[in-house]
Amino acid sequence: QVQLVQSGAEVKKPGASVKVSCKASGYTFTNYGITWVRQAPGQGLEWMGWISTYKGNTNYAQKFQGRVTMTTDTSTTTAYMELRGLRSDDTAVYYCARDLGSSSSIAFDIWGQGTMVTVSS
Amino acid sequence: EIVMTQSPATLSVSPGERATLSCRASQSVSSNLAWYQQKPGQAPRLLIYGASTRATGIPARFSGTGSGTEFTLTISSLQSEDFAVYYCQQYNNWPRTFGQGTKVEIK
């Protein structure tokens, strides 16, 4: 079946980096983009950025520019999101989602299970 | 960036009743709007995209209308499994943005 499986929970210290993986299966990976969304505890959804799995081009939210890098490995159908310079307010569940758009970000129809990232000294 | 504003913040509805949720964009997003449902501890689920197209497997009791800046999600007859938080999201402009959510609770 179509699914996205994310890597496990992480605990990081302020200033560190985290890299979350998202393994896709059950569909042609390069036919859809991947979007990353995060959700702080008790808060709403925050769009972080999108990557084309076909061309590798990205679009990041201004808030994360310079701190985030999204990549994909088509040989393993895996997407990655690296966030650097972690702060306590980066504590959140990070989701990857299959994006209906392959050349631009549209809507997100399949979601990973989420990866909890805790930033604490 | 486009600000999405949802109302009300909380909607109390009895099972079997109709629920109407609103979403307003700070500028026109044409019909480039999606709705998601999220239950506690779960990832969001896509309900509607293109303002009115139901996603695969979504029951017909969910319907979306609107264009430009005003959008509505209607749940025609609330089932027990529909009590959740609902988010709208625009994909007309970068960055993509979500509303703050409407919680639909049991009255």
pLDDT computed for residue B55 by the predictor: 97
The minimal CB distance from A111 to the residues B32, B43, B96 is found for: B43
Please give the torsion angle defined by the CA atoms of residues A94, A4, A113 and A88, in that order, rounded to the nearest 10 degrees.
Answer: -10
Do the Cβ atoms of A105 and A59 come closer than 8 Å?
Answer: yes
Tell me the pLDDT band of A2, cut-offs 50, 70 and 90: very high
Q: Is the pLDDT of residue A102 over 90?
A: no
How do the residues of chain B divide into helix, strand and coil, expressed in percent and rounded to 5? 5, 50, 50
Q: How far is CA B85 from CA A19, A23, A71, B24, B80, in A?
A: 28, 27, 30, 17, 13
Q: What is the pLDDT of residues A20-73, one digit of tens each?
A: 999 999 999 999 999 999 999 999 999 999 999 999 999 999 999 999 999 999
Are B95 and A107 inside 8 Å of each other by CB? no
**Pairwise CA distance, residues A82 & A96, whole Å:** 12
To the nearest whole Å, the CA of A13 is away from the closest chain B CA by 25
**Pairwise CA distance, residues A97 & B36, whole Å:** 12
Tell me the pLDDT band of A101, cut-offs 50, 70 and 90: confident
Average of per-residue pLDDT across A82-110: 95
Average of per-residue pLDDT across A97-104: 90
Q: What is the pLDDT of residues B17-53, one digit of tens each?
A: 999 999 999 999 999 999 999 999 999 999 999 999 9
Chain A interface, Cβ < 8 Å to B: 35, 37, 44-47, 49-50, 59-62, 95, 97, 100-101, 104-109, 111-114
Structure token digits, residue A86:
């972690």
Tell me the pLDDT band of A103, cut-offs 50, 70 and 90: confident
- Max Cα distance, chain B (Å): 38
**Pairwise CA distance, residues A97 & B68, whole Å:** 26
Structure token digits, residue B17:
């009743």
Are B91 and A106 inside 8 Å of each other by CB? yes
Strand ranges across the sheet with A78-83: A3-6, A18-25, A78-83, A68-73
Tell me the pLDDT band of A114, cut-offs 50, 70 and 90: very high
Q: What is the pLDDT of residues B47-103, one digit of tens each?
A: 999 999 999 999 999 999 999 999 999 999 999 999 999 999 999 999 999 999 999
Higher-confidence residue of A105 and A17: namely A17
Q: Which helix (H) or strand (E) holds A48?
A: strand A46-51
Range list of β-strands (E), B26-84: 33-38, 45-49, 53-54, 62-67, 70-75
**Pairwise CA distance, residues B36 & B1, whole Å:** 20
